Structure 1
């Protein structure tokens, strides 16, 4: 595919209107998204126009939400103005930062940990808890073995550990 002057002008126009590389490739026809990105780079075109109208490549830094946080802390999001350089221009932008404050942890006083019956794999039945305890490669490895309710592989204590409500898991992940 050859980049004619007409196609390059159409590319520049569509890019300045804020269309994505995929959308531009579809409108031009016979060209891939990667070819559009490469041509934009070689032409040194500025960043696409955003909804606000200004063409810029500046983006607010993304927060890493994949790392688990310690359970005894809560966070709030605050904004902070930072200055950074882009080319020969200094840009001011507001970014979100996490602020952390300590939460007092009070363990539940009414938790009763059941005594394990220490069953081996061959001793398990449909009505026994199959919660593994210890290292499977060691001699003292065993299963809980306490009575489990209907259609559950675990006793009521281990059910609470294994099956956490969705909102609790989401809260712990953020």
Structure 2
């Protein structure tokens, strides 16, 4: 899905969330939202939205990002790319990626992560804060640990190689 369409869809979800937030004394529904790029994609998007709502389990409008880990576990092939994409904002900042990986590998111990990286613990704190700014996900929260850990696991998977069939002749 292109960025312009995704942005419009996210704004629409934000508007619905705002409206639901203003209802007082009314039980708010659980709504899953999933965009469809074409009219032909609407049935699949509706199915995805239903699963998002079921996984969210609490009132409000929920998008894939809100239940990404749960969704990935429920449908691994359908969301792994989006889960791995959580790390994309860090791709231009290798020091942030290294700090995040060290922080997770050191069981969230900033001092151990700092020693592993050869930096001051405050540097780890500053880099984690910058990671939160860039990704919108705080690696110091349970949700952040789960999602970033899963994203790293997906990125570490070897990519399938295209092999030449045994019966093919290469000249």
The normalised TM-score by structure 2 is: 0.20
Higher strand share: 1
Whichever of the two has the greater Rg, that structure is 1
Higher helix share: 2
The normalised TM-score by structure 1 is: 0.20
